[in-house]
Amino acid sequence: MLLNFLKMELYRLLKMKSTYVMVIIVFLGTFIYNFVILGLDFEALLGQAMAGTITTGYDTEVDVDYYEDDGYDVFTGGYDGQDTGEKRSVIGVGIFHYNTVNETYQMNLQGLIPLLLLAILFGLFYGNDYSSHVNKNYTIINGRRWVGFTAKTLACMIYCLAFHLLIWIICFLSHVFWADSINPGFTLSALIYIPVTYLVTITIMVMIGFVSTLFKSKAAGITYGVLVSIGTLSLPIRIADYIISYKYGWTDFSLNYFIPSRMLATLEVGTNGKLVLIAVICAIIYAVSAFFGSLAFLKKRDLTT
């Protein structure tokens, strides 16, 4: 029975127009973002002085007097009245031109845009049961209402896996066009990072399903997903970290590794193993709690309402 429901949920997921809209957005968005970080030559685009403030930070010192005294034009790369005869293409060595593929993949996940897109999609998918009253069909399996929610969650896990794989492939293709090499960077730390970030994403997905089930609304699931995706908790967590550090002297402690959405923004290839383990344990606890919490509500709820 679970397999039949899984096939049904996969079919419903693939029939949603938003499924393909999200794929198109992430495809174009990831390509553009990768071009900016890998192949956009800021020095050719903005000039040597201004590019320095972008590539090395705002503390970059520019000897303005030198440029003024010698009539140097930071935008053209020459002196006043002088035609250098050289026109540089803006496609060249980007800020992260020498990244490995997995490092670029990490930067895309840390940007949280993929998470935002997935949060909206899964909010719609879980919430459709209540807006279209599909949940009333669960009465046909009465004593096993868990089957419907479990099948929906498994369908989301499969889509999420394909979504992450798509991002990695786009990053690889971006390296073919714009990066120094196509080194995938499959180190041990990278091989740990990939499944851990997938687990964290699944955790957030199940929590969205829990919120949708709790309030019987797609709007609630989408709202929750968007709020956690755009970093709403970032400022409160920083304040809490500061208070904990000030009061107890725990300078290396951070709540970022205990909050799923902040885990994605904080974890990196090569993050300390202890912090990764904390993130994994917390993600599993959140996911299991949200999953069985949803099943508990479904079991006790009158589906005809």
Whether 31 and 130 map to the same domain: the answer is yes
Q: What is the DSSP letter of 301?
A: S
| Cα(259)–Cα(22) distance, integer angstroms | 25
Number of Cα atoms under 13 Å in the Cβ half of residue 16: 21
Is 92 part of any domain? Answer: no
Query: Are 167 and 55 found together in one domain?
Result: no
In this structure, what token pair is assigned to residue 296? 């508990």
- Pick from 289, 14, 301: which is nearest to 138 by CA? 301
pLDDT, position 302: 58
Q: Is 275 within the bounds of a domain?
A: yes
245's CB contacts (< 8 A; 6+ apart) are 251, 253
- My answer on whether 171 and 281 are in the same domain is yes
Does residue 278 share a domain with residue 156?
Answer: yes
In this prediction, residue 235 carries a pLDDT of: 79
HEC string of 261-273 equals HHHHHHCCCCCCH
Together in a domain, 13 and 138: yes
Are 151 and 120 members of one domain?
yes
Amino acid at 251: T
**What domain range includes position 178?**
2-38+100-300
Q: Which residues of the chain are under the pLDDT cut of 50? A: 49, 58-69, 74-75, 81, 83, 85, 305
Number of compact structural domains in the chain: 2
CB 104 within 8 A of CB 37: yes
Cβ distance 91 to 43 under 8 Å?
no
209 falls within a domain: yes
User: What's residue 45's pLDDT?
Assistant: 66
